């Protein structure tokens, strides 16, 4: 009897031992409905989980556009002669920087002598009439001469002054130094000068050629104030406003973005491409820009500061459900519990997406900014158990 009882007790003890749960190994995942998804630190590191919070980020709806670096009309000049003449000297080369008023070339024509002689004649005539006018003005003030005689002298004075002004303007147009002519020094060769500062882009002159008014001899471009010119499709026109931020990059180097701001836009749509031209002022300094360089641009419309997360923090399921994971545990704890939270998303830009959590997150919640698809797989394992 004692032998039978002893065997029975031994069997009860062995059965009780089998029913004891196994110890939890550190790397095992324990998933329960009230504790979320529990991961050890080793699992967290292997999953690449990064912790962070929802932050305010400048986001917008982007309008993609393509275009090029351009020069506005007021920053380029075609230089031609104001009177026909033969090119005698050329002082500049293509690619050379010049200042406004700098001599580009000299040219000559016999008619230049006539212009200067006309000025001298009108100046001498005016000087004589001016003396008569001043004398008549004193005489009429003293009632020595009649008002009628003074008026006739005054009319002649005004006519002579107008003729002299016209002769002076003709000298100025030719670029002749008036002071030199006043001293009696006249020349048949005058200088062609740069109307603006910039780079000599084209030289179409040669020594000995006859240049006329319709023939551009030099092209000068000012590269100090280049603009961004892009084409925007008709459907996007209502979104574009002056002052909007523009980011752009050069073809083949889209990783390096530069900034500009919309300054103006056209008022008519190109009937062929159904596009409108937008001009933006370039803000990024130190760029080596050349007119005609092609660019890819994004015009940031409806730009505002929004609550956002990295795109890597959001899981998008096939049924379009969007969610992330958060924890209220110490991220450095031996094991951390993660909980799912659903979100609505909005603008996406530069790897960030605007989010609105559909549930209120705890104040101390830390959000998984990466590794969320690993967390999703662990969540699915939990649901299958």
pLDDT averaged over every residue in the chain: 87
53 and 145 inside one domain: no
Determine the pLDDT at residue 15: 47
* 153 — pLDDT class (breaks 50, 70, 90): confident
* 173 — pLDDT class (breaks 50, 70, 90): confident
256 and 335 inside one domain: no
Range of the domain at 179: 79-189+206-219
Determine the pLDDT at residue 320: 80
Note whether residue 277 is domain-resident: yes
93 and 211 inside one domain: yes
- pLDDT, average across residues 184-190: 89
181 and 295 inside one domain: no
pLDDT over 70 percentage in the chain: 90
**CATH number of the domain that 100 lies in?**
1.10.287.470
97 and 175 inside one domain: yes
Helix orientation angle between 111-141 and 147-174, rounded to the nearest 10 degrees: 150
Give the residue from 330, 301, 324 showing the smallest Cα distance to 374: 324
Range of lowest pLDDT (29-38, 162-171, 316-325, 336-345): 29-38
Condensed to tens digits (0 to 9), the pLDDT of residues 70-97 reads 999 999 999 999 899 999 999 999 999 9
178 and 109 inside one domain: yes
Condensed to tens digits (0 to 9), the pLDDT of residues 326-377 reads 999 999 999 999 999 999 998 888 899 999 999 899 999 999 999 999 999 9
Condensed to tens digits (0 to 9), the pLDDT of residues 104-146 reads 999 999 999 999 999 999 999 999 999 999 988 888 787 887 8
- pLDDT, average across residues 180-191: 90
8 A C-beta contact, residue 78 and residue 331? no
Which strands form 189-193's sheet, in the order they lie side by side? 189-193, 103-108, 85-90, 210-211
Determine the pLDDT at residue 253: 67
162 and 212 inside one domain: yes
Note whether residue 183 is domain-resident: yes
125 and 232 inside one domain: no
Note whether residue 9 is domain-resident: no
Determine the pLDDT at residue 177: 87
**CATH number of the domain that 240 lies in?**
2.40.30.170
Q: Coil, helix or strand for 85?
A: strand
Determine the pLDDT at residue 11: 42
Determine the pLDDT at residue 348: 87
pTM over 0.75: no
Note whether residue 142 is domain-resident: yes
């Amino acid at each position: 009897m004692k032998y039978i009882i002893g065997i029975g007790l031994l069997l009860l003890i062995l059965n009780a031992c089998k029913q004891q749960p196994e110890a939890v190994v550190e790397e095992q995942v324990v998933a329960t409905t009230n504790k979320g998804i529990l991961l050890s630190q080793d699992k967290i590191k292997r999953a690449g989980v990064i912790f962070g919070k929802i932050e305010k980020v400048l986001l917008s709806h982007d309008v993609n556009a393509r275009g090029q670096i351009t020069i506005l009309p007021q920053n380029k000049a075609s230089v031609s002669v104001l009177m026909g003449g033969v090119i005698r000297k050329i002082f500049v080369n293509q690619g050379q920087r010049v200042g406004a008023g700098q001599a580009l070339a000299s040219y000559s024509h016999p008619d230049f002598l006539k212009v200067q002689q006309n000025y001298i004649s009108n100046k001498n005539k005016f000087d004589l009439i001016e003396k008569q006018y001043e004398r008549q003005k004193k005489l009429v003030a003293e009632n020595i001469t009649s008002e009628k005689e003074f008026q006739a002298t005054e009319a002649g004075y005004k006519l002579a002054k107008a003729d002299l002004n016209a002769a002076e303007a003709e000298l100025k147009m030719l670029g002749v130094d008036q002071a030199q002519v006043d001293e009696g020094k006249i020349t048949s060769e005058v200088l062609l000068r740069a109307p603006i500062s910039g780079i000599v882009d084209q030289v179409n002159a040669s020594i000995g050629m006859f240049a006329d008014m319709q023939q551009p001899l030099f092209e000068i471009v000012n590269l100090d104030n280049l603009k961004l010119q892009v084409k925007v499709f008709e459907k996007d026109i209502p979104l574009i406003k002056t002052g909007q931020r523009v980011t752009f990059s050069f073809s083949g180097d889209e990783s390096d973005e530069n900034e500009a701001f919309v300054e103006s836009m056209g008022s008519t749509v190109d009937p062929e491409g159904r596009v409108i031209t937008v001009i933006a002022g370039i803000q990024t300094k130190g760029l080596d820009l050349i007119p005609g360089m092609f660019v890819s641009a994004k015009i940031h419309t409806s730009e505002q500061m929004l609550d956002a997360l990295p795109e890597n923090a959001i899981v998008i399921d096939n049924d379009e459900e969007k969610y992330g994971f958060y924890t209220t545990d110490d991220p450095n704890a031996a094991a951390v519990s993660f909980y799912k939270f659903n979100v609505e998303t909005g603008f996406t830009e530069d790897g960030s997406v605007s989010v609105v959590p559909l549930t209120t997150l705890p104040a101390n919640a830390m959000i998984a900014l990466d590794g969320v698809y690993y967390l999703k797989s662990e969540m699915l394992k939990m649901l299958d158990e």
